[in-house]
Structures are given as structure tokens and as C-alpha cells.
Structure 1
Amino acid sequence: MPRPIPIPRSRRAWIVTCAAPCAAGLAAAYGLNTSSEPEPPPKKPVSAQCAALIESIEGQLAKNERDGKKGGALAFSRNRGAGQEDCGDALRDHFGRHGGDR
């Protein structure tokens, strides 16, 4: 019959017994987090009409920034003329989903 492993009785032995696996787990988690940086999502192709709209908006934003008008609001109309493409997804992808900084 094998001898049972003696249970540590001193406070120092208990601390080492608990700290060693914790340190190993933290080191493993840190290694996994640093080794796998998320890749940026691939860019979706944008139609020429949406690219022109984005370029126009970028120009307006640059003009406002040159004029010293920072922190303004940018609003879009949901009305489209006949034959115009809905560029909402392209605008959200370019400028951010939640209206944050570019």
C-alpha cells in the first residue's frame, strides 16, 4: 500500500502550495494573451458611389477642422433619390459603429 502524501502543516508550506499553481496559471494566461493578437477584420469592398460620399464627408470634416470647428455633429438624411445606393453600412464601417473617434 503506497504511503499517503503528508499534508503541509506550516503556514509557509500552505502559501507555497497555493501560490505555485496560481503563478503558473497567471504566467500561462499572460503568454496566451500576448501571443494571439486579434487580426483586423478584412476591408469590405465599397462601391464607387459610396466611396465618393465618404470622400465628400471626409472633405467636409477636414474643412471644419481647419476652420477650428471641432466636436461638431454629423447628420445624414435617410432619403435617397431613385437609383442611389444605401451607403449606411459603408459609412458605419468607415467612421465607426458607435460614433466614436476615427
Structure 2
Amino acid sequence: MPEPIRMSRRAWVAAWAVLCAAGLGVTAGLNASSSSGPQTEMRVSAECAELIADLEKQLAKTHQEGNDAVLGFSRVQVGAENDCRDELREHFRGDQ
């Protein structure tokens, strides 16, 4: 059986440093590529679109009256396929 190749401590440290630097570079590249791409628009179901339109109307009405807030509830059961929670958050994210 052949003898294993012996490496000095400096060689191990250098190899470890190169691998860490490569990993950090790849991670930074992946983070930059995922955040700089255009966001794809989510499809909104008809029920969620109707709810968002109703909330927009209520919000416009309250702004005219001098108020700044509207409380909205999703009309479907939480956890159901057509839960509008994510669509509501996405739509009103800039209005926080």
C-alpha cells in the first residue's frame, strides 16, 4: 500500500484559506445575482384582486377623512389554497 502524501502545516493553512476565500466569493456572487434580478410579478387570484381593490377603496376613503389606517381581513380560511395573506403583504408593502 502506498504511503500517504505528507503536507506541512503551512500547506494545510494555505489550502484552507483558499477554500474559504472561494466560498466567500461564490456566496457574494450568488447573493448579488439573486437580489439584482427583476422581480417577477405574482399572479393574484380574482378573489384576492377583489379584496385588494376593496381595501384600496377603503384606504382612499379614510385618507379623505383624515385617517391613515385600514384594517383588512382575508375572506378565506387561513392555510387554504386561496389565502390572500401573501398578496396583501406584497401589494401594501410600500404603504407601511
The structure with higher relative contact order (CA 8 Å, sep 6+) is: 1
Q: Does 1:96 align with 2:89?
A: yes
Following TM superposition, the consecutive aligned residue runs of length 4 or more in structure 1 with deviations greater than 6 angstroms are none
Deviation at 1:4, TM superposition (A): 5.5
Cα distance in 2 for partners of 1:45, 1:9 equals: 61
Q: Residues of 2 paired with 1:45 and 1:63: CA distance?
A: 24
Long gaps (5+) in structure 2: 77-81
Aligned residues: 86
For residue 44 of structure 1, report the CA deviation from its aligned partner. Answer: 3.2
CA RMSD between the two structures? 4.0
Structure having the higher Rg: 1
Report the Cα distance in structure 2 between the residues aligned to 1:6 and 1:58, rounded to whole angstroms.
70
**What is the match of residue 33 of structure 1?**
31
Partner of 2:71: 74
Structure (1 or 2) with the greater helix fraction? 2
Gaps of 5+ in 1: 79-86
Cα distance in 1 for partners of 2:6, 2:93 equals 60
Counterpart CA distance in 1 for 2:31 and 2:4 is 38
